[in-house]
Amino acid sequence: MSSETPSTLGSLMAEAVAALTDAGIENARMDARILLARAVGVDGGRISAWPEDIVPDDKAETFRGMIARRVGHEPVGRILGERDFWRHTFKLSPETLEPRPDSETLVEWAIDFLEDADAPRIVDFGTGTGCLLLSTIGDLPGATGIGLDLSAGAVACARENAKLLELDDSVEFRVSDWDSALDEKDRAEGFDLVMSNPPYITADEMTTLSPEVQKFDPRLALTDEGDGLAAYRVLSRVAFDLAKPGGFVIFEIGREQEKDVGQMLVEAGFVGVEYREDLGGIVRCVAAKKTRCSVGRCVI
Protein backbone atom coordinates (compact mmCIF):
# COMPACT_ATOMS: atom_id res chain seq x y z
CA MET A 1 0.00 0.00 0.00
CA SER A 2 1.64 3.25 -1.12
CA SER A 3 1.45 6.48 0.86
CA GLU A 4 2.88 8.68 -1.95
CA THR A 5 -0.59 10.04 -2.77
CA PRO A 6 -3.11 11.02 -0.10
CA SER A 7 -5.16 8.12 1.21
CA THR A 8 -8.91 8.39 1.22
CA LEU A 9 -11.56 6.40 3.01
CA GLY A 10 -12.50 4.77 -0.28
CA SER A 11 -8.96 3.89 -1.36
CA LEU A 12 -8.11 2.44 2.04
CA MET A 13 -11.28 0.34 2.00
CA ALA A 14 -10.50 -1.01 -1.47
CA GLU A 15 -6.93 -1.92 -0.52
CA ALA A 16 -8.01 -3.56 2.73
CA VAL A 17 -10.84 -5.60 1.21
CA ALA A 18 -8.48 -6.89 -1.47
CA ALA A 19 -5.84 -7.88 1.12
CA LEU A 20 -8.35 -9.59 3.39
CA THR A 21 -10.02 -11.41 0.51
CA ASP A 22 -6.66 -12.68 -0.73
CA ALA A 23 -5.99 -13.98 2.81
CA GLY A 24 -9.25 -15.93 2.79
CA ILE A 25 -10.93 -13.79 5.44
CA GLU A 26 -14.71 -14.10 5.46
CA ASN A 27 -16.71 -10.89 5.73
CA ALA A 28 -13.70 -8.96 4.44
CA ARG A 29 -15.66 -5.79 3.72
CA MET A 30 -17.37 -5.72 7.12
CA ASP A 31 -14.09 -6.29 8.99
CA ALA A 32 -12.34 -3.59 6.96
CA ARG A 33 -15.14 -1.12 7.64
CA ILE A 34 -15.08 -1.76 11.40
CA LEU A 35 -11.32 -1.37 11.60
CA LEU A 36 -11.22 1.71 9.38
CA ALA A 37 -13.92 3.43 11.41
CA ARG A 38 -11.92 2.80 14.59
CA ALA A 39 -8.55 3.81 13.12
CA VAL A 40 -9.86 7.05 11.64
CA GLY A 41 -12.38 7.84 14.36
CA VAL A 42 -15.46 8.14 12.17
CA ASP A 43 -18.86 6.50 12.03
CA GLY A 44 -18.96 3.51 9.71
CA GLY A 45 -21.67 5.12 7.60
CA ARG A 46 -19.35 7.97 6.63
CA ILE A 47 -17.03 5.55 4.85
CA SER A 48 -19.71 4.83 2.23
CA ALA A 49 -21.17 8.32 2.19
CA TRP A 50 -17.90 10.22 1.83
CA PRO A 51 -15.30 7.86 0.32
CA GLU A 52 -13.32 10.83 -1.01
CA ASP A 53 -12.47 12.06 2.51
CA ILE A 54 -8.70 12.35 2.98
CA VAL A 55 -7.23 10.26 5.80
CA PRO A 56 -4.13 11.62 7.60
CA ASP A 57 -0.98 9.55 7.09
CA ASP A 58 -0.69 8.52 10.74
CA LYS A 59 -4.25 7.21 10.83
CA ALA A 60 -3.80 5.47 7.50
CA GLU A 61 -0.74 3.68 8.82
CA THR A 62 -2.60 2.68 11.99
CA PHE A 63 -5.30 1.17 9.80
CA ARG A 64 -2.76 -0.66 7.63
CA GLY A 65 -1.28 -2.17 10.78
CA MET A 66 -4.71 -3.36 11.84
CA ILE A 67 -5.30 -4.95 8.45
CA ALA A 68 -1.93 -6.71 8.60
CA ARG A 69 -2.98 -8.26 11.91
CA ARG A 70 -6.35 -9.33 10.46
CA VAL A 71 -4.57 -10.87 7.45
CA GLY A 72 -2.79 -12.99 10.06
CA HIS A 73 -6.26 -14.13 11.23
CA GLU A 74 -6.23 -12.15 14.45
CA PRO A 75 -9.92 -11.54 15.23
CA VAL A 76 -11.32 -8.05 14.93
CA GLY A 77 -12.22 -8.06 18.62
CA ARG A 78 -8.63 -8.84 19.58
CA ILE A 79 -7.36 -6.03 17.38
CA LEU A 80 -9.83 -3.58 18.92
CA GLY A 81 -9.25 -4.99 22.41
CA GLU A 82 -12.96 -5.30 23.08
CA ARG A 83 -16.10 -7.16 22.04
CA ASP A 84 -19.81 -6.33 22.25
CA PHE A 85 -21.93 -8.82 24.18
CA TRP A 86 -25.53 -8.59 25.39
CA ARG A 87 -26.04 -4.86 26.16
CA HIS A 88 -22.41 -3.96 26.86
CA THR A 89 -18.90 -3.75 25.48
CA PHE A 90 -16.30 -5.88 27.26
CA LYS A 91 -12.55 -5.39 27.36
CA LEU A 92 -10.52 -8.45 26.36
CA SER A 93 -7.17 -9.79 27.51
CA PRO A 94 -4.98 -12.61 26.16
CA GLU A 95 -6.23 -14.77 29.05
CA THR A 96 -9.91 -14.46 28.15
CA LEU A 97 -12.14 -15.86 25.46
CA GLU A 98 -13.92 -13.46 23.17
CA PRO A 99 -17.57 -13.34 24.25
CA ARG A 100 -19.71 -14.85 21.51
CA PRO A 101 -23.39 -14.40 20.65
CA ASP A 102 -24.14 -18.08 21.38
CA SER A 103 -23.36 -17.45 25.04
CA GLU A 104 -26.13 -14.85 25.26
CA THR A 105 -28.43 -17.87 25.42
CA LEU A 106 -27.15 -18.52 28.93
CA VAL A 107 -27.62 -14.91 30.03
CA GLU A 108 -31.17 -14.79 28.71
CA TRP A 109 -32.07 -18.01 30.51
CA ALA A 110 -30.43 -16.88 33.76
CA ILE A 111 -32.48 -13.69 33.74
CA ASP A 112 -35.65 -15.70 33.07
CA PHE A 113 -34.94 -17.84 36.13
CA LEU A 114 -34.10 -14.97 38.47
CA GLU A 115 -36.19 -12.00 37.34
CA ASP A 116 -38.67 -12.46 40.22
CA ALA A 117 -36.06 -13.36 42.86
CA ASP A 118 -35.29 -10.99 45.71
CA ALA A 119 -31.62 -9.91 45.56
CA PRO A 120 -30.39 -13.14 43.95
CA ARG A 121 -26.81 -14.34 44.44
CA ILE A 122 -24.87 -15.82 41.52
CA VAL A 123 -21.55 -17.60 41.21
CA ASP A 124 -19.82 -17.92 37.84
CA PHE A 125 -17.07 -20.49 37.25
CA GLY A 126 -14.46 -19.71 34.60
CA THR A 127 -15.65 -16.12 34.45
CA GLY A 128 -13.14 -14.87 31.86
CA THR A 129 -14.11 -11.31 30.91
CA GLY A 130 -16.97 -11.52 33.40
CA CYS A 131 -19.43 -11.12 30.53
CA LEU A 132 -21.93 -13.74 31.71
CA LEU A 133 -22.03 -12.61 35.33
CA LEU A 134 -21.97 -8.87 34.61
CA SER A 135 -24.58 -9.10 31.86
CA THR A 136 -26.91 -11.05 34.13
CA ILE A 137 -26.45 -8.87 37.18
CA GLY A 138 -26.79 -5.73 35.08
CA ASP A 139 -30.35 -6.76 34.20
CA LEU A 140 -31.35 -7.86 37.72
CA PRO A 141 -31.67 -5.01 40.25
CA GLY A 142 -30.27 -6.01 43.62
CA ALA A 143 -28.40 -9.03 42.29
CA THR A 144 -24.86 -9.77 43.49
CA GLY A 145 -22.29 -12.29 42.40
CA ILE A 146 -18.86 -13.84 42.58
CA GLY A 147 -16.82 -14.69 39.49
CA LEU A 148 -14.07 -17.29 39.75
CA ASP A 149 -11.25 -18.05 37.33
CA LEU A 150 -7.98 -19.95 37.48
CA SER A 151 -6.26 -17.17 35.51
CA ALA A 152 -5.12 -14.06 37.38
CA GLY A 153 -5.09 -12.20 34.05
CA ALA A 154 -8.72 -13.08 33.40
CA VAL A 155 -9.71 -11.96 36.89
CA ALA A 156 -7.96 -8.62 36.37
CA CYS A 157 -9.81 -8.18 33.07
CA ALA A 158 -13.17 -9.01 34.68
CA ARG A 159 -12.54 -6.50 37.46
CA GLU A 160 -11.79 -3.82 34.87
CA ASN A 161 -15.04 -4.61 33.05
CA ALA A 162 -17.02 -4.46 36.28
CA LYS A 163 -15.59 -1.03 37.02
CA LEU A 164 -16.27 0.25 33.49
CA LEU A 165 -19.88 -0.95 33.74
CA GLU A 166 -20.21 0.53 37.25
CA LEU A 167 -21.08 -2.90 38.66
CA ASP A 168 -17.99 -3.32 40.86
CA ASP A 169 -20.06 -2.80 44.01
CA SER A 170 -22.24 -5.77 43.07
CA VAL A 171 -19.60 -8.34 42.16
CA GLU A 172 -16.33 -9.84 43.34
CA PHE A 173 -13.82 -11.60 41.12
CA ARG A 174 -11.37 -14.06 42.65
CA VAL A 175 -8.56 -16.27 41.42
CA SER A 176 -9.73 -19.77 42.21
CA ASP A 177 -9.14 -23.41 41.37
CA TRP A 178 -12.75 -24.50 41.12
CA ASP A 179 -14.41 -23.38 44.40
CA SER A 180 -11.26 -23.05 46.50
CA ALA A 181 -11.63 -19.27 46.88
CA LEU A 182 -15.14 -19.50 48.33
CA ASP A 183 -15.18 -19.12 52.12
CA GLU A 184 -17.51 -20.54 54.73
CA LYS A 185 -19.76 -17.47 54.59
CA ASP A 186 -20.16 -17.87 50.83
CA ARG A 187 -21.07 -21.52 51.25
CA ALA A 188 -23.45 -20.91 54.15
CA GLU A 189 -25.36 -18.23 52.24
CA GLY A 190 -25.47 -20.32 49.09
CA PHE A 191 -26.35 -19.14 45.59
CA ASP A 192 -29.60 -18.80 43.68
CA LEU A 193 -27.74 -19.60 40.48
CA VAL A 194 -24.52 -21.41 39.62
CA MET A 195 -23.41 -20.70 36.05
CA SER A 196 -20.45 -21.64 33.89
CA ASN A 197 -19.13 -21.68 30.35
CA PRO A 198 -16.28 -24.15 30.97
CA PRO A 199 -13.75 -25.57 28.49
CA TYR A 200 -15.82 -28.14 26.56
CA ILE A 201 -14.04 -28.64 23.24
CA THR A 202 -12.50 -32.08 22.84
CA ALA A 203 -8.83 -32.53 22.06
CA ASP A 204 -9.72 -33.91 18.62
CA GLU A 205 -12.03 -30.98 17.84
CA MET A 206 -9.29 -28.46 18.60
CA THR A 207 -7.60 -29.28 15.30
CA THR A 208 -10.76 -28.34 13.38
CA LEU A 209 -11.17 -24.86 14.83
CA SER A 210 -10.55 -21.71 12.83
CA PRO A 211 -7.14 -20.03 13.02
CA GLU A 212 -8.83 -17.13 14.82
CA VAL A 213 -9.70 -19.46 17.70
CA GLN A 214 -6.69 -21.77 17.66
CA LYS A 215 -4.12 -18.99 17.56
CA PHE A 216 -5.71 -16.28 19.68
CA ASP A 217 -8.10 -17.78 22.26
CA PRO A 218 -6.48 -19.18 25.43
CA ARG A 219 -6.30 -22.95 25.07
CA LEU A 220 -6.96 -23.45 28.79
CA ALA A 221 -10.40 -21.87 28.36
CA LEU A 222 -11.26 -23.97 25.30
CA THR A 223 -10.41 -27.60 26.03
CA ASP A 224 -9.75 -30.07 28.82
CA GLU A 225 -7.40 -31.90 26.44
CA GLY A 226 -9.74 -34.90 26.65
CA ASP A 227 -13.40 -35.62 25.97
CA GLY A 228 -14.62 -32.09 26.76
CA LEU A 229 -16.62 -33.23 29.80
CA ALA A 230 -14.05 -33.04 32.59
CA ALA A 231 -15.21 -29.67 33.91
CA TYR A 232 -18.83 -30.81 34.12
CA ARG A 233 -17.86 -33.85 36.18
CA VAL A 234 -16.49 -31.51 38.83
CA LEU A 235 -18.90 -28.62 38.47
CA SER A 236 -22.09 -30.69 38.65
CA ARG A 237 -21.14 -31.81 42.18
CA VAL A 238 -19.78 -28.42 43.22
CA ALA A 239 -22.90 -26.67 41.91
CA PHE A 240 -25.19 -28.89 43.94
CA ASP A 241 -23.26 -28.12 47.11
CA LEU A 242 -23.37 -24.37 46.46
CA ALA A 243 -26.92 -23.94 45.16
CA LYS A 244 -29.61 -22.91 47.62
CA PRO A 245 -32.64 -25.17 47.93
CA GLY A 246 -34.77 -24.11 44.98
CA GLY A 247 -31.74 -22.66 43.21
CA PHE A 248 -30.62 -23.36 39.68
CA VAL A 249 -27.58 -24.36 37.67
CA ILE A 250 -26.95 -23.40 34.04
CA PHE A 251 -24.02 -24.61 31.96
CA GLU A 252 -23.07 -23.72 28.43
CA ILE A 253 -22.26 -26.92 26.54
CA GLY A 254 -20.76 -28.07 23.29
CA ARG A 255 -22.47 -29.79 20.40
CA GLU A 256 -24.20 -33.08 21.37
CA GLN A 257 -23.10 -32.91 25.01
CA GLU A 258 -26.57 -32.35 26.44
CA LYS A 259 -27.35 -35.94 27.39
CA ASP A 260 -24.03 -36.52 29.15
CA VAL A 261 -24.13 -33.24 31.07
CA GLY A 262 -27.80 -33.63 31.92
CA GLN A 263 -27.10 -37.08 33.36
CA MET A 264 -24.27 -35.68 35.47
CA LEU A 265 -26.60 -33.08 36.95
CA VAL A 266 -29.19 -35.73 37.80
CA GLU A 267 -26.54 -37.90 39.43
CA ALA A 268 -25.39 -34.89 41.46
CA GLY A 269 -28.93 -34.46 42.81
CA PHE A 270 -30.54 -31.87 40.54
CA VAL A 271 -34.01 -32.31 39.06
CA GLY A 272 -35.98 -30.99 36.10
CA VAL A 273 -33.17 -30.93 33.56
CA GLU A 274 -33.95 -28.63 30.61
CA TYR A 275 -32.13 -27.61 27.44
CA ARG A 276 -32.14 -24.46 25.36
CA GLU A 277 -30.97 -23.89 21.78
CA ASP A 278 -28.96 -20.95 20.53
CA LEU A 279 -29.95 -18.85 17.50
CA GLY A 280 -28.35 -21.44 15.23
CA GLY A 281 -30.61 -24.20 16.52
CA ILE A 282 -27.79 -25.93 18.45
CA VAL A 283 -28.50 -27.05 22.01
CA ARG A 284 -26.25 -24.57 23.81
CA CYS A 285 -27.25 -24.69 27.48
CA VAL A 286 -28.44 -27.18 30.06
CA ALA A 287 -30.19 -26.15 33.27
CA ALA A 288 -31.58 -27.91 36.31
CA LYS A 289 -33.03 -27.13 39.72
CA LYS A 290 -32.00 -28.12 43.19
CA THR A 291 -34.94 -29.69 44.99
CA ARG A 292 -36.31 -27.68 47.86
CA CYS A 293 -35.95 -30.78 50.01
CA SER A 294 -32.80 -31.31 52.02
CA VAL A 295 -31.93 -34.22 54.27
CA GLY A 296 -34.79 -34.76 56.74
CA ARG A 297 -36.52 -31.47 55.84
CA CYS A 298 -38.44 -29.85 53.03
CA VAL A 299 -38.60 -26.12 52.41
CA ILE A 300 -41.96 -24.78 51.25
Residues 106, 111, 117, 120, CA torsion sign: positive
Please name the amino acid found at residue 107.
Answer: V
Alpha carbons 300 and 42: distance in angstroms, whole number:
58
Residues 202, 220, 131, 174, CA torsion sign: positive
Question: Tell me, what's the pLDDT at 292?
Answer: 61
Which ranges of 97-199 does DSSP label H, i.e. alpha helix? 104-114, 131-138, 152-164, 184-189
Alpha carbons 86 and 130: distance in angstroms, whole number:
12
End-to-end Cα, the chain, rounded Å: 71
Question: Tell me, what's the pLDDT at 296?
Answer: 38
| Residue 3 CB neighbour total at 10 angstroms | 10
Q: Which residues, including other chains, have CB under 8 Å from residue 9's CB and lie 6 or more apart?
A: 36, 40, 42, 46, 47, 50, 51, 52, 53, 55
Which ranges of the chain does DSSP label H, i.e. alpha helix? 9-22, 28-40, 44-49, 57-71, 76-80, 104-114, 131-138, 152-164, 184-189, 203-206, 211-216, 219-222, 230-242, 258-268
Question: Tell me, what's the pLDDT at 293?
Answer: 53
Alpha carbons 224 and 196: distance in angstroms, whole number:
15
Question: Tell me, what's the pLDDT at 257?
Answer: 97
pLDDT mean values, one per 10 residues, the chain (300 residues): 76 97 96 97 91 95 98 97 97 96 97 96 98 98 97 98 98 97 97 98 95 95 97 98 97 96 97 95 97 47
Question: Tell me, what's the pLDDT at 291?
Answer: 85
